Chains A and B, each alone.
Chain A
Amino acid sequence: MIKNHNISFRFLLVFLLYLLLPVSCIDKLDFVGETKEGQLVIYGLFTDINERQVVNVSQTTATGLAPKGVPNAQVSLLTSSGGKHRYFSIGNGDYELYGVFAVEGQSYALEVVLDDEVYLSKYETVPTLVAEDVLSFAFVNEPFRSEAPESVFTVYSETTLPATRDPIYLRWAVEETYIWPLVYLPGTGFPPPVPPPCFISDVIEPNRLNLFDGSGTSTRRTKLVLAKRMVDNSFLYPFFVSVKQLSINREAYEYWEKIKIVINNQGSLFDIPPAPVFGNIANVEDPNETVLGYFEVAKTKVTRIYTLRADVPFYLVDPCQFFPNKPDDSYAAECKSCNARAQGRRWTNDAPDWWKFD
């Protein structure tokens, strides 16, 4: 028995050695690798509706930073018939083209000239089919950003595809626009002007890619979740959701599928390993130069839906409610400035022409 006790004591000593070995938990990592700066990124979308056609030209920067806009490029739209339309730089690498829009069945390419280098996309043909979207929304309590239930606003689309066996590839971009009245503070003028409201716009869930491949299915009517966001005081006033359905060609669909794989990669056992995604734009003189981005053409359909405060089943607090005796400087900045409220989102004081509700 004595011997057994001695052994047990030694076992305990040995076991304690294990406990001294390092134990740690790591969740967030920091990979500092070789950053490739200066890679050219060109993205352009050319649609068939009479709207502002936009191209963005930028360069990659160090990992973790936003890409740097390239404002001094010459950007042109090429048509298959030999036409050429010049985009105009509006700064920050954005280029605009007005009054020109795509015609279904026609092909277009993008040309970007930068520092004597010519970058040219492949000619892309505008699809002829488009689907019908019927939008709806719901406010529910469910896990969203965390495992705990949260107040979530969800946008759905009941989409009907054309009754044809021709392939159709769809992508949806969902944007919100809400009105934000600034607090009316008497005494800041005579007569005190009513501050114009802010119309603030942003993409909902920018990293959600809504794609549908209508080529391998007989489904012609389907209900899709297009976007989700947290419910906050943006819903105090009319809140519009604009859904832009883009009917794209197969190559563009495959490009976005790869982008979706890359941005949705969760590192799981079953994830497809990530890789760089290359598009349809290349340097004419040096095909080996890496050019990121894509030029896509799309047949487009825009559908909108809106919510009012009465639709929201959750209690919302108005941070900018006016109280006569409340000092002016005690109101939050977002109550006095559109810029402060927008926090980097797009905003304007002019109501969009479609801003109509009951």
Chain B
Amino acid sequence: MKAKSQNIFLNQIHKSHLAKRNSINRVFLALSFVILYFSLIPNLQAQTEFIEVKFEQGDLQKRAQYFVTGKVTQLGNGEPLSGVSIHIDGFFAGNNTDRIGQYVISLDSGRHRIVFRQFGKRPVHYLIELYGDGQLDVGLANLDFELEAFTVEADEKDRNIRSPITGVTKMDINDIKLVPAFMGEPDVFNVLQSMPGVTSVGEGSAGMNIRGGQADQNLIMMNETIVLSNSHALGFLSSFNGDALQNFTLYKGAVPSYFGGRSSSALNIEMRKGDKENWKGSVSLGTALSKVLVEGPIVPEKTSMIFASRLSNANWLLDRAKEVDVQNSKINFHDIYLGINHRFSEKNNLDFNLLNTGDYFRFSNQFGFDWNNLVGSLTSRNLLTDDLSLVGMVAYGSFNNGFFEPSTVDPSKIENGLYYFQGKITGLLTLEKVDINFGAEAIQYHMRPEFLNPLTPESGIVAKTVQKERGMEYAPFVSADWNPNESLSFSGGIRYSNYVQQGPDSIFRYQEGIPISRLTIIGVDFVESGKIVKYNGFEPRFSFRWTFDKVNSIKGGYSVMNQYLQTISNATGPTPIDLWQLSTTYIKPQRSHNASLGFFRNFKEDEWSTSLEGFYRTTANQLEYRDFADLFVNPHIETELIQGEGLAYGAELLIQKNSGGITGWLAYTFSRSLIRTTSEFPEIQVNQGNWFATNFDKPHNISLVTNFHIGRGRTFNTNVNFSSGRPVTGLSSNYAVGGIFVPNFGNRNEFRIPNYFRIDFSYLTNGFVRKWNDKINFSVYNLTGRRNAYSVFFQREGRTPRLVPYQISILGSAFPSLTYTVAFGK
């Protein structure tokens, strides 16, 4: 840490050690017996270091107030840290660092205690004697759980009270690592699913459902670059390597206007920058996957790089399965991340990021998938003046899908995909009480042609190609964050969203007065180039915070969002190979209205954080599928779809313990997600046009994450999950045709599978070689081996006509994993 001055001098720095009092945990709320154990361990003492700094202005005229400005960066790689809260004399006055880590505060002359805090970072404490304007640049280090301290302090504990936007979940990699996960791999999606408002269809389904939204309604970004394919192993694991991950921010309430294109939420995953001072890295060998990380300075203090890669080695686990089909299955995946950062000067930086992921999955000789994803971006961050910064980003993404059937007769493979170019420029103007963001974003999508090809030379499949659409989405945006005083904060913005579908494309014409189908096609118009159809709309965004009594706040937000790119699938849940489909003449864009309101309260000097939030969302033109939709290699895919209204509402309760020997949280979510189709033709309406539950409608979700910090770098972590069973379509009767007993299914999603329950645990400890920096992660996913139902199917019992429902479990046993990691370098 270092402090710089302009017309001041840096006084001597000396350390003083101040003590905190012990505090005994008590029972907080009698909501659940499990929370009792949070108070079983007393906090032990922590020590605080204060750095003394003096700012003077020499012979200039003395003033009553002076400015302190500076930049907060990540210690080690110099990456700017946004959202760092600045506490002055024990209080938080609403000051946070901006998106490029800068801050300005105005203080009375005299002596002040200033603390810079951020969740997952070790706070930095200053004692400042302020008798002149000064610049104070600060570096924050990650919390180091390796220290022999029993007390772990989560920083920015009051963020839930002070942050201006409701429905924001932010977490650092150090906290992600403490949540037990499948294969023992720290995973963003796994952590998010233990937070309120985030669920999934079930184990092994790609994507998350956030506040009752579909998986494709989430904008998922890596350093603000869109990443369309973001999961491995059928969705058990995200594509983002925890070793290279810095933090993530999920906007599930009011999404700021500089994000758009999806109708539910935005998740931005920040990747780490390489260390600018030393070369270092790590190698991990695990029972399910292995990984390597290398980072360091290419040009010391100027250019750094980070390289991280993971490779699966899970096939030996499949070989040990009891079922022959599973034994004959294969699953392979990899991901590679490369980040290069160059600092031209203190004010100008350039980042290059590259993510490549690949997956291969084959289920026996029945079917298989392979998909790969490439995302590269170049980001320039420039501080033009002390008040104005500019961030420019260009990106390229490519996504390829393959779906193959290696059957004995006519094996075939279907391939599709897309590529896109993304450009975004964002300016940030920082005034005394107002921060203004402005800029524009454009994305050009090119859907690749869809191919049906024979898989082997012997196959008689006739090759077929269907051309797909292309389109451009662009939007200017502006937003302002205004903090009129310590208690109030407003954030408002607007985004003007535009979409143009461009030629070439074939637009089918259908008979009027009857539902469109392949049988009602009366012609086709081919558009060689230019505009085919255009959609646009204003997207207002607004949120506010009102803080009272220092520990209470009420926050609310409202946003409108449009979506022009969606996935199409006729599988039970979202899969990694779902087709991406642009809006067309017949497929209207989705448009959602989101409202949320929350009450936040902290206790015991922010040791406990609590929140209660409610949300309500309506979505127009949400996609649903007609029965037995035929989606692959279909030139008129609109005939298989039907659009309708979506409705999601619910409430979320979060009780979080931020510091002490035991940390963690208890989250409860009540959430409903409904849809009704709105066709003018009754014969294609789903469930007669009535509201019905979506595939991922799980009203009750509870998760309890606990981290026991044992000391000496050891943590014992548990994750308990409970959720209502998801809806499935069940039988209403059965009948026989031609000697075949056929189940007659009733209304879509009329029944529910049994409730879901799972316990995971992990134990993180130092390795056994004294001189090495090695670590061991032992984890067990689904500790109790409970066979949670994913879905149901119906089968005859012997020769009887009775069709019996059976449940299928994706992971029906405990899944242990062991990872040994050796780090090298300093």
Which residues of A come within 8 Å of B, CB atoms? 4, 7-8, 10-11, 13-15, 17-18, 21-31, 33-37, 39, 41, 43, 45, 56, 58, 60-67, 143, 147, 173, 203, 206-207, 209, 212, 216-220, 222-224, 258-259, 261-263, 265-277, 288, 292-294, 343-344
B769-820 CB contacts (< 8 Å) to partner A: 783-787, 789-794, 796, 799, 801-808, 810, 812
Give B577's nearest chain A residue, CB to CB.
A270
A36/B746 in contact, CB under 8 A: yes
A292 contacts B735, CB within 8 Å? yes
Query: Which one of A22, A36, A63, A147 lies within 8 Å of B757 (CB-CB)?
Result: A22
Most-contacted residue by chain B among A7, A207, A223, A267 (CB, 10 A): A267
Listed A/B pairs (15) with beta-carbon separation below 8 Å: A4-B711, A15-B718, A22-B757, A23-B784, A28-B807, A60-B734, A61-B733, A64-B804, A67-B801, A207-B741, A217-B461, A265-B794, A270-B367, A272-B571, A272-B629
Chain B residues whose C-beta falls within 8 Å of the C-beta of A30 in the assembled complex? 805
Partner of B40, one of A14, A65, A173: A14
Q: A206-B741, A217-B462, A269-B234 are in contact. Are A29 and B734 (CB under 8 A)?
A: no
| Residues of chain A lying within 8 A (CB to CB) of residue B464 | 216
Supposing A23-B784, A216-B462 touch, asked if A262 and B754 sit within 8 A by C-beta, the answer is no
- Are the CB atoms of A26 and B789 closer together than 8 Å? yes
A23 to B808, CA, bound (A): 17
Starting from the known contacts A62-B733, A269-B575, 14 additional A-B residue pairs (CB-CB under 8 Å) come to: A10-B40, A29-B805, A34-B732, A64-B802, A173-B738, A206-B739, A207-B796, A216-B462, A267-B791, A273-B572, A275-B729, A292-B735, A292-B737, A343-B799
- The residues of B that contact A18 with a CB separation of less than 8 Å are 718, 720, 759, 783
Residues of chain B contacted by A37 (CB below 8 angstroms): 733
B571 near A63 (CB under 8 angstroms)?
no
Known: A26-B789, A64-B803, A269-B573. A39 touches B729 (CB 8 A): no
Q: A29-B754, A270-B367 are in contact. Are A219 and B459 (CB under 8 A)?
A: yes
B460 within 8 A of A: yes
Of A28, A37, A65, A272, most B-chain CB atoms within 10 Å: A272
In whole angstroms, how far apart are the Cα atoms of A27 and B807 in the complex? 5
Q: Which residues of A contact B461 (CB under 8 A)?
A: 216-219
Distance (whole angstroms) from the CB of B66 to the closest CB of chain A: 46
B:678-735 near A, CB below 8 Å? 682, 695, 706, 708, 710-711, 716, 718, 720, 728-735
Would you call B744 and A29 a contact (CB within 8 A)? no
Given contacts A268-B791, A271-B571, A292-B744, contact A11 B737 (CB under 8 A): no
B330 interfacial by beta-carbon distance below 8 Å: no
Give bound CA distance, A276 to B743, whole Å: 8
Closest residue on chain B to residue A56 by CB atoms = B736
A274/B787 in contact, CB under 8 A: no
A8 to B41, CA, bound (A): 10
Q: In the complex, A13→B41 CA distance in Å?
A: 12
Kindly list chain A residues whose C-beta atoms are within 8 Å of the C-beta of B570.
Answer: 272-273
CB distance from B289 to the nearest CB of A (A): 21
The answer to whether A58 and B729 touch across the interface, beta carbons within 8 angstroms, is no
Given A41-B735, A267-B792, the answer on whether A217 and B410 have CB atoms closer than 8 Å is yes
- Whether B736 pairs with A269 at a CB distance below 8 angstroms is no
Contacts known (A63-B734, A220-B460); A268 close to B409, Cβ less than 8 A:
no
Interface residues of B in 276-326 (CB under 8 A from A): 322-324
B550 within 8 A of A: no
B783: A residues at CB distance < 8 A:
18
Minimum CB distance partner of A208 in chain B: B740
- Write out the residue numbers on chain A whose beta carbons fall within 8 Å of the beta carbon of B34: 17
Contact A276 B744 (CB under 8 A): yes
B108 at the interface (CB under 8 A from A): no
Give the complex CA separation of A220 and B458 in angstroms: 11
Contacts of B731 in A (CB 8 A): 31, 33, 63
- Indicate if the CB atoms of A60 and B733 lie closer than 8 Å: yes
Is there contact, CB below 8 Å, between A259 and B742? yes
B805 touches A275 (CB 8 A): no
Contact of A65 among B706, B786, B802 (CB under 8 A): B802
Is residue B170 within 8 Å, beta carbon to beta carbon, of the partner chain?
no
Residues of B within 8 A of A23 (CB): 784-786
A258, B628: Cβ atoms under 8 Å?
yes
**A29 and B808 alpha carbons, distance in the complex (Å):** 10
Q: Are B740 and A209 in contact (CB under 8 A)?
A: yes
- For B203, give the chain A residue with the smallest CB separation: A269
User: With contacts A26-B787, A31-B731 known, is A269 near B205, CB below 8 A?
Assistant: yes
Q: Does B824 contact A (CB under 8 A)?
A: no
Cα of A16 to Cα of B784 in the assembled complex, Å: 13
CA distance A123 to B50 in the complex (A): 90
**B462 close to A11 (CB less than 8 A):** no
Per-residue CB proximity of B544-574 to A under 8 Å, as 1/0? 0000000000000000000000000011110
| A11 touching B571, Cβ below 8 Å | no
Q: Which residue, A23, A29, A39, has most C-beta atoms of chain B within 10 A?
A: A29
CA distance A216 to B633 in the complex (A): 12
Report yes or no: A29 in contact with B792, Cβ–Cβ below 8 A: yes
Given contacts A27-B806, A258-B628, A292-B744, are A33 and B410 in contact (CB under 8 A)? no
B37 interfacial by beta-carbon distance below 8 Å: yes
CA distance A224 to B409 in the complex (A): 8
Q: How far is the CB of A43 from chain B (nearest CB, A)?
A: 4
B745 touches A274 (CB 8 A): yes
Chain B nearest CB from A269 CB (Å) reads: 6
Minimum CB–CB distance from A232 to chain B (whole Å) comes to 13
Partner of A273, one of B708, B729, B805: B729
Known contacts A207-B740, A268-B572, A269-B790, A64 near B734 by CB under 8 Å:
yes
**Is B324 a contact partner of A143 (Cβ separation < 8 A)?**
yes
Are B736 and A67 interface neighbours, CB within 8 A? yes
Q: Is the CB of B754 within 8 A of A31?
A: no
Least CB distance, B270 to chain A, in whole angstroms: 31
Considering the complex, give the chain B residue whose CB is closest to the CB of A42: B737
Whether A270 pairs with B571 at a CB distance below 8 angstroms is: yes
In the complex, the answer to whether B744 meets A217 with C-beta atoms within 8 Å is no
